[in-house]
Structure 1
């Protein structure tokens, strides 16, 4: 549905910190499905960990937050705004994510008020849940 160029027209993030490659589905203000193809070229693999590259869990949560931000910022009233982290709750990591994996990021916006909200994110690799978290955000 939207590639990196389209994503960058909505989000302020830029490589190397843009952590989603493609939007597969979006219902603005409600839900989004995004994809991140994990390659050995990710800059964080230089130090995490050189002998056993693993995607840092906090970056999986960040990728979910970026996907959720895309869903909110696609709403007409939030175009041109920025979504900021407000908190992370109930985060669980269930398995390693490594080079060659494709992360499927599903985020449902479960609460949205004028300037803040909560998204419930789940990340999958090959249909298996690898991470989940509730993400609080502010819009400014």
Structure 2
């Protein structure tokens, strides 16, 4: 789904920002606070995702994000969501 893609994008963004690209970070989707779908997305569309951190800090586990998905410059979906990020126990 589009919101799942936003959440995965957010996880990659945080992992890269914290220098954890080569670690097995666990990400748990906790909540979708708001979600609005503005237009249909069909096979062949190129979906552009923009995600920003609303709350979270290095070393913290719970992060809040806002994301926008667009097709050809037109907003297709918007969402605010929460995820928990953790490192696996070895």
Q: Same fold (TM over 0.5)?
A: yes
Is residue 91 from structure 1 mapped to residue 35 from structure 2 by the alignment?
yes
Alignment of 1:1-140 (within 5 A): 59-74=1-16, 75-76=18-19, 79-113=23-57, 114-140=60-86
More strand, by proportion: 2
Greater RCO, CA 8 A, separation 6+ = 2
List gaps (5 residues or longer) in structure 1: 1-58
List gaps (5 residues or longer) in structure 2: none
Question: How far is the alpha carbon of 1:73 from its aligned partner?
Answer: 1.4
What's the Cα RMSD here?
1.4
Match of 1:43 in 2: none
Question: How far is the alpha carbon of 1:77 from its aligned partner?
Answer: 5.9
d(CA) in 2 for partners of 1:73, 1:126: 28
d(CA) in 1 for partners of 2:62, 2:24: 16
